[in-house]
Amino acid sequence: MKAHIFRTEVAGRPLQIEYGALAGQANAAVLVRYGDTTVLVTATATKEPREDVDFFPLRVDYEERQYAAGRIPGSFFRREGRPSERAVLNARLIDRPIRPLFPKGFYHDVQVVATVLSFDPDNGPDIASIIGASAALSISDIPFNGPVGAVMMGLVDGELVVNPTEAQLHKSRLELAVAGTKDAIIMVEAGADEVPEETILEALQKAHEVIKELCIWQEEIVAQVGKPKMSFTPPQLDETLVQEVRSWAEGRLELALLADTKEDREKQREAVVQEARELFLEKYPESEKAILQVLHDTERDVMRRMILEKGIRADGRGPKDIRPIWCDAGFLPRAHGSGLFTRGETQVLSVATLGAASDRQLLDSLGDEPFRRYMHHYNFPPYSTGEVKPIRAPGRREIGHGALAERALLPMIPSEDEFPYTIRVVSEVLSSNGSTSMASVCGSTLALMDAGTPLKRPVSGIAMGLIKEGDKAVILSDIMGLEDHLGDMDFKVAGTEKGVTAMQMDIKIQGIEIELLRQALEQAREGRLYILQEMLKVLPAPRPHLSPYAPRILTLHINPDKIRDVIGPGGKTINKIIAETGVDIDIQDDGRIYVTGPLEGCERAQEMILQLTKDVVPGEVYLGKVTRIVSFGAFCEILPGKEGLVHISQLAKERIPRVEDVVDVGDTILVKVTEIDSLGRINLSRKQALQAEPGGEVKESRKKAGTAGKR
């Protein structure tokens, strides 16, 4: 098959899309090349819509192949298994900007698959995959209101950089993924090191300029090779039924929305739904699904009208009002650190655990980062929403929310030199009614400070919403679940008093203007700082001491050349230290050694390591242990792993016929280092040691009974 090749340039590097030669049975497939990164992106749809659904069944998969980076998987089976956390996050990154652009009422199953075939760390496959997904959908016959462009923005040495290289990312204070159409921004995902809001807005504006160019380029591609879009008929409701149900339900649903609590709102709403069933099913017996749809749409319209026209939210708050906050720290007596954060009906318990360097997570992904020292895990059990469901392994929601909270706190985690612990935080959602991920950030800040982690500064977070109809728009602070479900935006912002550390924006409309983003960021800053002050009333600073149940870590720095002395042949020496002291020992290539365990065991292990790595000094006197006897002298261990020879002529002040007349194996004797020769061999003298320390004989001991007479 003939390939159609289209080229452009982004950030000074070639971007290429190839269409027509690969995966011909998909609705469309493109091969995206950005630098040496190569991603195959396919878009496939079923020929018929799914029956009995009222949602768009889109699935996005991101497949990493280890061969893309020239590696063999590290798993037991030596093949790729379940997606890595990074793969799950990238799948979400692709999903979020394309999902709002499918037409309403299109219920065909659609699957987008991005497979990384070649990995170039300077050109991220995540951004290439978003562009590839947009191109494949735009070229295909699948209805799609794109195209979409995407870029990554960095902040290197104070300058904004488009699609930074790997080296630039290591120095960057900002990692901002932005996706959008020609007209507006659709998706934002960011990690930052206390970057001011104005700088982020500038980055968004610069990103959108590049996105516009990418969208125009894709439109040119579609004009040349695009397929006609398939026709579909959105489900139609009986207009008479719609008007009757809507006019009956509007007032009742408004009263239900104004109830004080989520439980009361749901009870009143269910009462309205049940009454509507009884009333309208008599007249429309085959239309239960349609009646429920009208009730849902009416509730949405009533809630939005209340906010736009009256400035009143479902729970009676104004647009900027934040729900009551209650916090606690040190909630769990045996945990290393714990923080309980409650905001309205959202409640999260975060628990911090401190571990040794060996507890770091080993990563088996395409990136070059081999370990993760700070881990944030998020659990969302069914009871948090009052439901009964099986508890399963973490899904995309749990992984995504945990990663967002981790990203928010990571810039404030102290360096390994300052605080040499592996840190794991687990956020347990106890009750959910809006923005549990930002509640996790707040609870985890308290948990880390309760554990004595010297955070650079405390972090708080808030979720912002949007209601927009035509030219009217209202930004909402601290959205609850209903406003997320029926609103137009979920914009999460976390940070310190100095700036933003993480952001995530998803919208349900086809884009948001920069000025609205400016307003949302400023309103988020006000709310975030208010929440932070409420948190600090409970725990204003990290605790000065670690929990008594947390392990202690002692850090040693030795000459890297002496690492082999600590490890010993086949690990014999280090295993002996671990067995005798009950500690964990982690040795780094640069000579850093972390000793983790009870304080007494750490101190004992530290002394043993220092003895092992101590240099032998000519002229010094040591108490040595006789390890071997030969005809011409005795070998003594004067430091762990350091052995020297006492010649027979140096064993006693007088001349002796046999070594055994003076010492036996196991005896401890005073010896003086007389020489270290060019081969590193140590020569010792007991005679000179006794002369140097009169009365030193009392320090010596004989291992075997009856040997004292030999002297």
Tens digits of per-residue pLDDT, 672-690?
999 998 888 999 999 999 8
Around Cβ 533, how many Cβ atoms within 10 Å?
Answer: 11
Residue 599 has pLDDT above 90, yes or no: no
Per DSSP, helices labelled H in 353-505 are: 396-409, 436-450, 481-486
pLDDT tens, residue by residue, 304-328: 999 999 999 988 899 999 999 999 9
- Cα separation, 443 vs 459, in Å, equals 10
Q: How far is CA 75 from CA 72, 360, 364, in A?
A: 9, 17, 9
Tokens of 208: 């959108």
Say yes or no to pLDDT of 50 above 60.
yes
Write down the pLDDT at residue 706: 38
Whose tokens are 């894709």? That residue is 218
Asked whether the predicted pLDDT for residue 532 surpasses 60, the reply is yes
Question: What pLDDT score does 3 carry?
Answer: 86
Torsions phi, psi for 480 (to 5 deg): -100, 175
Instruction: Name the phi and psi angles at 697, rounded to 5.
Output: -60, -25
Does the pLDDT of residue 710 top 50, yes or no?
Answer: no
- Which one-letter amino acid corresponds to residue 280? F
Q: Closest Cα partner for 425 from 334, 339, 491, 341?
A: 339
Task: List, as one string, the DSSP characters of 54-112.
Answer: -S--EEEEEEE-GGGGT----STTSS--SPPHHHHHHHHHHHHHHGGGSPTT--EEEEE
Say how far apart CA 626 and CA 646 lie, in whole Å. Answer: 10
pLDDT reading at 40 higher than 80: yes
- The rounded distance, in Å, linking the Cα atoms of 362 and 369 is 9
Q: Which phi and psi (to 5°) does residue 28 adopt?
A: -165, 150
Tell me what pLDDT residue 694 has: 67
Whose tokens are 């009361």? That residue is 264
- Tell me the C-alpha distance between 116 and 32, whole Å: 10
**Per-residue pLDDT at 79 exceeds 90:** no
- Contact predicate 141/27, CB 8 Å: yes
Helix (H) or strand (E) holding 47: strand 37-49
pLDDT digits (tens, 9 = 90+) for 612-625: 888 888 999 999 99
State the pLDDT at residue 697: 66
Please give the pLDDT value at position 323: 95
pTM of the predicted structure, to 2 decimals: 0.85
The answer to whether residues 646 and 667 touch, using CB atoms and an 8 Å cutoff, is no
Same fold, 239-310 and 325-536: no
pLDDT, residue 71, reads 83
339, containing H or E segment: strand 337-343
Q: What is the pLDDT of residues 502-523, one digit of tens each?
A: 999 998 888 788 899 999 999 9
**CA distance linking residue 397 with residue 616, whole number of Å:** 59
Structurally, at CATH architecture level, domain 239-310 sits in Orthogonal Bundle (1.10)
Contact 15, 36 (CB under 8 A): no
Yes or no: say if 373 and 612 are a contact pair by the CB < 8 Å rule: no
Task: Check: CB of residue 492 under 8 Å from CB of residue 404.
Answer: yes
435: left (phi over 0), alpha (psi -120 to 50) or beta: left
Arithmetic mean of pLDDT, 201-216 = 96
Q: Are 486 and 299 in contact (CB under 8 A)?
A: yes
What average pLDDT does this structure show over 220-232? 95
Cα distance between residue 542 and residue 155, in whole Å:
30
Would you place residue 651 in the very low, low, confident or very high pLDDT band (cuts 50, 70, 90)?
A: very high
Q: What CATH number should be reported for the domain whose range is 621-710?
A: 2.40.50.140
Does 37 have pLDDT greater than 90? yes
Looking at residue 198, what is its pLDDT?
95
The encoded tokens of residue 501 equal 């550390």
pLDDT tier at 350, thresholds 50, 70, 90: very high
Cβ proximity of 43 and 26 under 8 Å: yes
Q: How confident is the model at residue 72 (pLDDT cuts 50, 70, 90)?
A: confident
Residue 151 reports pLDDT greater than 90: yes
Preceding amide of 147 cis, omega within 30: yes
Which residue, among 333, 336, 352, 337, has the nearest Cα to 426 in the 3D structure?
352
Q: Percent of the chain, pLDDT > 90?
A: 72
Give the bridge partners for 347, in sequence order: 342, 431
How is domain 552-613 classified at the CATH fold level?
Ribosomal Protein S8; Chain: A, domain 1 (3.30.1370)
- What element of type H or E holds 325? strand 325-329
Q: Indicate if the pLDDT at residue 704 is higher than 50.
A: no
Mean pLDDT for the chain overall? 91
Complete edge-to-edge strand list for the sheet that includes strand 584-587: 552-557, 592-597, 584-587
357 vs 361, 403, 597, CA distance in Å? 10, 21, 12
Residue spans per domain, the chain: 4-225, 239-310, 325-536, 552-613, 621-710
Structurally, at CATH architecture level, domain 325-536 sits in: 2-Layer Sandwich (3.30)
**Coil, helix or strand at residue 345:** coil
Per the CB < 8 A criterion, the answer to whether 151 and 13 are in contact is no
pLDDT score of 711: 32
Structure tokens at 16: 């290429």
Q: State how far the Cα of 323 lies from the Cα of 434, in Å rounded to an integer.
A: 11
Per-position DSSP letters for 699-710, written without gaps between them: G-B-SSTT-GGG
Helix axis angle, 262-280 to 239-257, nearest 10°: 150
Q: How far apart are CA 546 and CA 548, in angstroms?
A: 6
At 626, which helix (H) or strand (E)?
strand 621-630
Give the distance from CA 648 to its chain's centroid: 65
- Joined tokens for residue 509: 């409309």
- Give 414-436 pLDDT, tens digit per residue: 998 899 999 999 999 999 998 99
End-to-end CA distance of the chain: 97
Within 10 A of 261 (CB to CB), how many other CB atoms are there?
12
Residue 447 CB burial class (10 angstroms; 0-12, 13-18, ≥19): buried
Beta bridge partners of 682: 644, 676
Token reading at 238: 């009986």
Q: Where are the beta strands (DSSP E) in 119-167?
A: 149-156, 159-162
Q: What pLDDT was estimated at residue 703?
A: 55
Query: How many whole angstroms separate alpha carbon 519 and alpha carbon 528?
Result: 14
pLDDT tens by residue, 576-593:
999 999 999 999 888 999
Beta bridge partners of 427: 350, 378
Length of the chain: 711
The whole-number pLDDT of residue 702 equals 61
Q: What integer pLDDT is reported at residue 695 of this predicted model?
A: 64
Let me know if domain 4-225 sits in CATH 3.30.230.70: yes
